[in-house]
Amino acid sequence: MKSRSIAVNIGNRTIGGGNPILVQSMAKTDTRDVVSTVNQILRLEEAGCDLVRVAVPDIESAEALSKIKSKIHIPLIADVHFDPLIAMESISQGVDKLRLNPSNIQDEEWIKKIALAAKNRSIPIRVGTNLGSFKKKPDNPVEALVKNALDEIKILESVDFNNIIVSIKTSDAILTVRANEKIAELVRYPLHIGITEAGPKEESLVKSSVGIGCLLMEGIGDTIRYSITADPIEEIKAGITLLRSLRLRKGGLEIVSCPTCGRCEINLFEIVKQVKEEFEEVDIPVRVAIMGCVVNGPGEAADADIGLAGGKKSGVIFRKGKAVRIVKEEHLYSAFRDELKKLIESKK
């Protein structure tokens, strides 16, 4: 599919212009606490995070940015609200991207000064608008959100600043989809998409997957973030899983497993749990099927690289739909693990 957006560089990464969709998160630490913030970002890096944002509510937080940046390996984004001096300090600290919320900085001349300072350092600005940009909820939220973003873009463009990323988020999945569809028709800047304030893990996974997934299927979106009230590692896991399920990112272990029913006579839940935990770090593409009975496997999962199907206190291990071993239940996981390890080694 031809990309609808131009390419924008963020540190050593590029979004838009047909480049891979990047997954990002936001540190949930006090940015002034450099050690804690760095440690959390390093954990995010290990989980596969491509970009990370930190809150910058005061000058002290801004002054910590260069120290944080020197100890991490992915682009660092400063999230700035209200105070233009904090934005200017963040730029001088060498952040890789600046996030501004339209309407938070009212003085257009200050916005222009920020844009010119960012331009001198080749730092992109994300125009991030949401319903918090308005003193009262507008009658037509879609039109208001889009106009809000366009007005801010116009100010940046007035000083010949085009290193722009656009984000329109709300906690309403349908509203967010409609607003992003609209802005995608009007600008060619890369879009950062997500459902903001999406709630606890279970609620966020559903709501965010619906909203982000709909947009990605339309070819809209260049970087994504799941907003989850939980450890930020969960946001990265969810984002990567979504991209893989939409075939927008390759690699990693894909587990195909049945929900089980009265036909299942083995402890399938435990086997799935063990496989997921032990092989979570696998980064090459492997499709694993774990089925409770012969009804669902191996026939239903014939295209899996490897799988098992339960029987009466036993199970059959199969490769590409063909049985290779029949094992008693007490040895089933260890036998399957050995076969899976062999497969992974052969793929390497």
The per-residue pLDDT for 222 is 97
Q: For residues 59 and 56, what is the distance between their CA atoms, to the nearest angstrom?
A: 8
| pTM for this prediction | 0.90
pLDDT over threshold 80, residue 296: no
pLDDT of res. 133: 74
pLDDT at position 328 is: 92
**Which tokens in the block code for residue 327?**
């094992």
Relative to beta strand 51-55, strand 22-26 is: parallel
Summarised one tens digit per residue, pLDDT across range 112-135 is: 999 999 999 999 999 989 887 777
Residue 4 in this model has a pLDDT that exceeds 90: no
- Work out the pLDDT band at 2, boundaries 50, 70, 90: low
**What torsion, rounded to 10 degrees, do the Cα atoms 60, 62, 64, 66 define?**
-160
Matching fold, domains 8-245 and 253-347 = no
Least confident of 239-243, 298-302, 336-340: 298-302
* Token pair for 328: 């008693």
- Mean pLDDT, rounded, for 46-75: 97
What is the 3 state secondary structure string of 58-103?
A: CHHHHHCHHHHHCCCCCCEEEEECCCHHHHHHHHHCCCCEEEECCC
**CATH number 3.30.413.10 is the correct assignment for the domain at 253-347:** yes
Q: How many whole angstroms separate alpha carbon 61 and alpha carbon 33?
A: 8
pLDDT in tens, 143-191: 999 999 999 999 999 999 999 999 999 999 999 999 999 999 999 999 9
The fraction of the chain above a pLDDT of 70, given in percent, is 99
Where are the chain's structural domains?
8-245, 253-347
CB 319 within 8 A of CB 305: yes
Q: What mean pLDDT is predicted for residues 41-63?
A: 97
8-245 homologous superfamily: Dihydropteroate synthase-like (3.20.20.20)
pLDDT at 1 over 60: no
pLDDT tops 80 at residue 294? no
Split at pLDDT 50, 70, 90, the class of 250 is confident
Residue 311: the pLDDT is: 86
Q: Is the pLDDT of residue 25 over 60?
A: yes
